[in-house]
C-alpha cells in the first residue's frame, strides 16, 4: 500500500508538506498542492486512518451499542444518528449487545480500545455504562431510550411513564377494569417506567390490583409477547384488555390471539406501544403510543457532538436527561369489554 512517504519521494517534497497538502492545511502553495494531489492519485494513495487517529488522538468515529439490530425502535435511532454524524464527518460503529450485559460491557470496552470519540449507548443493565464511565471518564456517552444509574452520562429517552398511563387510561375510559400488561425484562428503565405508568393509571382509577397482572419477561421480542399472551388468556380469564408494552411484544400478542381465533377487539382489546411502519396494516390496526424517534435520534447525535466539541468547562456539569413526549394513535384494536365469556 502506498504511504505518505511514497508520495513525498515521488514529488521530491518533504513528508510534512505532503501531509499538509492532503489534509487541506492552509499554508501550502496551490501549485504544490496540485502536484501532491496528482501524485497521490497516480500512486493510488489511501491515507491510513489508524495512523492518523493514533497520532492525532481523534478517531472521528462514534460507537453505537443497541440491544437488537432487528428492532426498528433501535435501527431508526441508528439510522438517524448515522445520518447526522456522517454529515459532520463522523463514522458510526454500530454494534449489538443482544441484550446481554456481558456482551454490552465487552462492546463498550472494544469501543474504548478503538478510541471512539463518543458513544451512544442503550444500556442492558440498571448500572449501564457505569463501569466504563468510571474507568474512562474522558469519553462522552449519551444513553438512548433507556437510562441507567451511570454517573455523568446524558440520556435521551421517551416519556414511557406518561405514554403508558395515557394508553391505559384510554382502556379504562372504554370500561375495562381488568387489564394485563406484557412488560419487558425487569430492571430496564423502559420496563420500569412503562409499568409505573400502568400502575399509576390503575391506582388513579381504582382498578383491582390482582385483576391487573404485570407479566415481566426475558426480552422485548415477539416470542415473549406470544408466550405472555397465552399465559394471560389461560391464567387470567377475567382480563378484557392487553397492553403490549413494546412493538415486538404487540406483534407476538397479535399472533397468539390469531392462533386462538380470538377476535380483537370483540373478544379482547389490545394496545401496543411504539409505532413501527407495519402496525396500521395489521389485523386489526393497533391503537398505540408513538414516540418521536426521529427527534430523539437527532437530539442524541447533537448532544453527543456538543459534548465532544465543547470544552468540558463550558458545559453543564450536571448530565442532562432529555425526555420526549409522544402521542396516542387511535386505531381499531380497542372496544368496550366483552360481555360474553371466551
Partner DNA sequence: CTGAAAGCGCTAACAC
Partner DNA sequence: GTGTTAGCGCTTTCAG
In this structure, what C-alpha cell is assigned to residue 169?
A: 387510561
- The residues, ordered by sequence, that sit 6+ positions from 248 with a Cβ below 8 Å of its Cβ are 71, 220, 221, 222, 225
Of the pair 19, 82, the CB lying nearest a copy of itself is at 82
Q: What part of residues 9-38 is at the interface with DNA (CB under 7 A)?
A: 12-17, 19-23, 26-32
Compute the half-sphere exposure of residue 177: CA atoms within 13 Å on the CB side of its CA. Answer: 6
Q: Contact with a copy of itself (CB under 8 A): which of 11, 17, 19, 82?
A: 82
- The listed partner (a copy of itself, DNA, none) that binds 280, CB under 5 to 8 Å by sort, is a copy of itself
**Dihedral sign, CA of 152, 115, 54, 32?**
negative
**Binding string to a copy of itself for residues 32 to 51, with x set by CB under 8 A, is what?**
------------x-xxxxxx
In the sheet that holds 241-244, the strands lie side by side as 214-215, 179-182, 241-244, 269-271
- Answer yes or no whether residue 54 interacts with a copy of itself by CB under 8 A: yes
- The listed partner (a copy of itself, DNA, none) that binds 91, CB under 5 to 8 Å by sort, is a copy of itself
**Binding string to a copy of itself for residues 249 to 288, with x set by CB under 8 A, is what?**
--x--xx--x-----------------xxx-xxxxx----
Q: Please state the closest distance from residue 169 (CB atom) to a copy of itself, in A.
A: 26
Whole-Å CA distances, 33 to 12, 13, 16, 23:
13, 11, 12, 10
Q: Please state the closest distance from residue 50 (CB atom) to a copy of itself, in A.
A: 4
- Answer yes or no whether residue 72 interacts with a copy of itself by CB under 8 A: yes
Question: Could you count the other beta carbons within 10 Å of the beta carbon of residue 337?
Answer: 19
Q: What is d(CA 199, CA 172) in angstroms, rounded to the nearest whole number?
A: 12
DSSP codes, 146-197:
S--S-TT-EEEEE-HHHHHHHHHHHHHHTT---EEEE---TTSHHHHHHHHH
- The listed partner (DNA, a copy of itself, none) that binds 14, CB under 5 to 8 Å by sort, is DNA
Return residues touching a copy of itself (CB under 8 A): 1, 44, 46-51, 53-54, 59, 61, 68-70, 72, 75-76, 78-79, 82-83, 86, 91-96, 98, 103, 109-110, 112-115, 135-136, 138, 222, 248, 251, 254-255, 258, 276-278, 280-284
Amino acid at each position: 500500500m502506498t504511504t505518505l512517504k511514497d508520495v513525498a519521494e515521488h514529488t521530491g517534497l518533504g513528508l510534512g508538506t505532503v501531509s499538509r497538502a492532503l489534509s487541506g492545511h492552509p499554508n501550502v502553495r496551490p501549485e504544490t498542492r496540485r502536484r501532491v494531489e496528482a501524485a497521490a492519485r497516480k500512486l493510488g494513495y489511501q491515507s491510513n486512518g489508524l495512523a492518523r487517529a493514533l497520532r492525532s488522538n481523534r478517531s472521528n468515529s462514534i460507537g453505537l451499542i443497541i440491544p437488537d439490530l432487528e428492532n426498528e425502535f433501535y435501527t431508526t435511532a441508528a439510522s438517524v444518528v448515522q445520518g447526522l454524524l456522517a454529515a459532520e464527518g463522523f463514522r458510526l460503529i454500530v454494534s449489538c449487545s443482544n441484550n446481554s450485559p456481558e456482551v454490552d460491557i465487552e462492546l463498550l470496552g472494544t469501543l474504548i480500545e478503538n478510541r471512539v470519540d463518543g458513544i451512544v449507548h442503550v444500556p442492558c443493565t440498571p448500572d449501564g455504562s457505569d463501569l466504563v464511565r468510571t474507568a474512562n471518564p474522558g469519553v462522552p456517552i449519551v444513553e438512548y431510550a433507556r437510562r441507567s444509574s451511570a454517573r455523568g452520562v446524558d440520556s435521551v429517552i421517551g416519556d414511557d411513564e406518561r405514554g403508558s398511563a395515557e394508553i391505559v387510561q384510554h382502556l379504562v375510559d372504554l370500561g375495562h377494569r381488568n387489564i394485563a400488561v406484557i412488560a419487558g425484562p425487569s430492571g430496564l428503565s423502559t420496563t420500569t417506567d412503562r409499568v409505573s405508568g400502568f400502575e399509576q393509571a390503575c391506582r388513579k382509577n381504582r382498578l383491582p390490583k390482582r385483576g391487573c397482572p404485570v407479566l415481566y419477561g426475558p426480552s422485548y421480542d415477539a416470542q415473549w409477547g406470544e408466550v405472555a399472551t397465552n399465559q394471560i388468556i389461560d391464567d387470567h380469564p377475567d382480563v378484557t384488555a392487553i397492553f403490549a408494552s413494546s412493538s415486538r411484544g404487540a406483534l407476538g400478542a397479535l399472533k397468539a390471539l390469531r392462533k386462538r381465533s380470538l377476535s380483537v377487539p370483540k373478544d379482547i382489546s389490545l394496545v401496543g406501544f411504539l409505532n413501527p411502519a407495519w402496525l396500521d396494516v395489521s389485523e386489526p390496526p393497533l391503537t398505540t403510543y408513538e414516540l418521536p424517534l426521529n427527534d430523539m435520534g437527532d437530539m442524541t447525535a447533537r448532544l453527543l457532538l456538543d459534548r465532544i466539541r465543547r470544552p468540558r468547562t463550558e458545559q453543564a456539569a450536571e448530565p442532562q436527561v432529555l425526555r420526549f413526549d409522544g402521542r396516542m394513535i387511535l386505531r381499531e384494536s380497542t372496544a368496550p369489554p366483552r360481555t360474553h365469556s371466551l
